[in-house]
Structure 1
């Protein structure tokens, strides 16, 4: 009778959102705020090093917001995002293909995700990070979310370097898209524990599609977005998997009343498949990058993923 009562209690619990009080807890989000502070601090350092009034004293039009002194911005013709010069970004660690491959500065694959091209760029990314990252960290903790963020940013940088070899790239967009990808894979791998799953999936896919579509505009590094998204998607299958409903509550029951496996068969399949794809993908991409391969030579149409030419703009630059 006791076992039946427990079983009935398990079945009657709301599955609106999965939460096992005996083992799951709501984490306090501190890593994401630290990431935000670090990005803002790095932008301040970037503008200090840029020192527009000193380096552009004879420039026609002058600096923007001169009252900020050495923190004033480059002329809008050079940087419409209200930020530093390209040379300053390159000096501080922007992603530059020739420096990564020919000058052995692989650290730029990580350093570039902490730099931003301007105030507008920084604000857009940090607002997205707060809305996406805090929720994930509260649910899964700082270790898993932090690892997804950093590795997704790294994956985005690798893909950007493979396909955009004549420009520089900065920003946390790849890492942010990694968190979006992780949200999608978390929903898929934990599919059975959600209610209104179709609505949640539709909403998330629309958000991702819109953000990727914006990436086909000129001057937006959509390869970093795609690389980060794919990295986060695969890591979500690995790191954000949840035990099947009721497993924690019934694991102390007699053997005949327990749920035999912690995860469902499809969860194991997704976890194993994602692990193989993630390791293989990073290995192949890194080998190609440091051999100096140009990804566009192996994919003649891939350049359209980052910029689609129209009568309004040209993607040649």
Structure 2
């Protein structure tokens, strides 16, 4: 007997498509992707790894500027061979008693564009505001500073692009110069560290803003702290200005709060494979949150940076000296030691020529030095006078 067609039942098993991951890992799609702060650059594509040209350019320019400074210094001839590392010839350094950082003389730094109070107030040489952040006090200052710039700057450039890193570097260097000009005294000072501290401040701002995005944030904090303290201690030595570092750090933090809102989320998606593609809605929501998060905080940081820039610029053009209102501030930039003094007093030396010898006697402490030659420039006499009077 034939079966009733109305009673026929067709059973079709419809199986859901397999998930790209096991069911146990599905809840992970609800979590934000995380990356390692300083190590993330090693997981970038080839295009991103190549985006380090700007920091590399800044490093090369600093090396060229320091080499030119040592060529102008010409210790072998101007100091009559009284140099450190004489094998370098014209590029040899001044004696350690004169420059413990293995660098040029004070008069050479003045010639290349260092800052002094008299240069800004009496001579109105405002062009030094642009040469000041390009100079290093010595080879030791150069190596430590540039290694720190490479360590911090390359990460920021790869993570946020050359434009953001370049803006932070240049603007922080300029604001740091303005802050230094408000505290600079009668001895020469250079401030290449201002740009470095701008990068450090921006790194801290990016880390705080994207705290949930990173896995090794405490390691990054310790790294920033270590680099900051090390370079600040270096700034207590002669010729290196610490006020530019302070100004650069504050301006870098404010700029980082404005510009470095989030890392490249699309690159995280590529690294995670299909993880974000599986939960597209969560990915879009994350991107929008990273773009629109904390607008009030970023606006406030932008206003504060503008006020800081404008206020320091006006104060410098008016010739304001903040040392008059803060007597202890000079110890932020210098600690007295046996080889040098933090005093801002003018040094005067009496010169006496006899038997092809030149005797310099400091009028303040009575120290003297006998040179086996007489034909020496006045700039060199001033350099030696500062040494024996310190």
TM-score by structure 1 length?
0.81
Larger radius of gyration: 2
Secondary structure of 1:176's aligned partner: helix
Per-residue deviation, 1:45: 1.1
- 2:106 maps to 1:86: yes
Q: Of the candidates 184, 209, 214, which is equivalent to residue 164 of structure 1?
A: 184
- 2:299 maps to 1:272: yes
In the alignment, structure 2 segments of 5+ residues that lack a partner are: 1-15, 21-25, 270-275, 345-390
- 2:153 maps to 1:133: yes
Per the alignment, residue 31 of structure 1 pairs with 54
1:101–1:289 Cα contact (<8 Å) kept = no
Per the alignment, residue 43 of structure 1 pairs with 66
Structure-1 separation of matches of 2:338 and 2:189: 25
1:96–1:108 Cα contact (<8 Å) kept = no
Q: 1:12 to 1:146 in 2, by over 3 A?
A: same
Structure-2 separation of matches of 1:211 and 1:84: 20
Q: 1:142 to 1:225 in 2, by over 3 A?
A: same
Per the alignment, residue 54 of structure 1 pairs with 77
- 2:142 maps to 1:122: yes
Q: 1:79 to 1:244 in 2, by over 3 A?
A: closer
Structure-2 separation of matches of 1:42 and 1:119: 12
Count residues with an aligned counterpart: 310
Q: 1:173 to 1:316 in 2, by over 3 A?
A: same
Aligned residues: CA RMSD: 3.7
Structure-1 separation of matches of 2:304 and 2:135: 29
In the alignment, structure 1 segments of 5+ residues that lack a partner are: none
Q: Write out per-residue CA displacement over residues 39-59 of structure 1, whole angstroms, 9 at most, x where no aligned residue.
A: 1111111111112233223xx
TM-score by structure 2 length?
0.67
Q: Of the candidates 313, 319, 324, which is equivalent to residue 286 of structure 1?
A: 313
Per-residue deviation, 1:164: 2.0
Q: Of the candidates 249, 254, 258, which is equivalent to residue 238 of structure 1?
A: 258
Q: Write out per-residue CA displacement over residues 53-101 of structure 1, whole angstroms, 9 at most, x where no aligned residue.
A: 33223xxx72233333322222332222222111111111112333234
Q: 1:209 to 1:127 in 2, by over 3 A?
A: closer
Q: Of the candidates 98, 109, 133, which is equivalent to residue 129 of structure 2?
A: 109
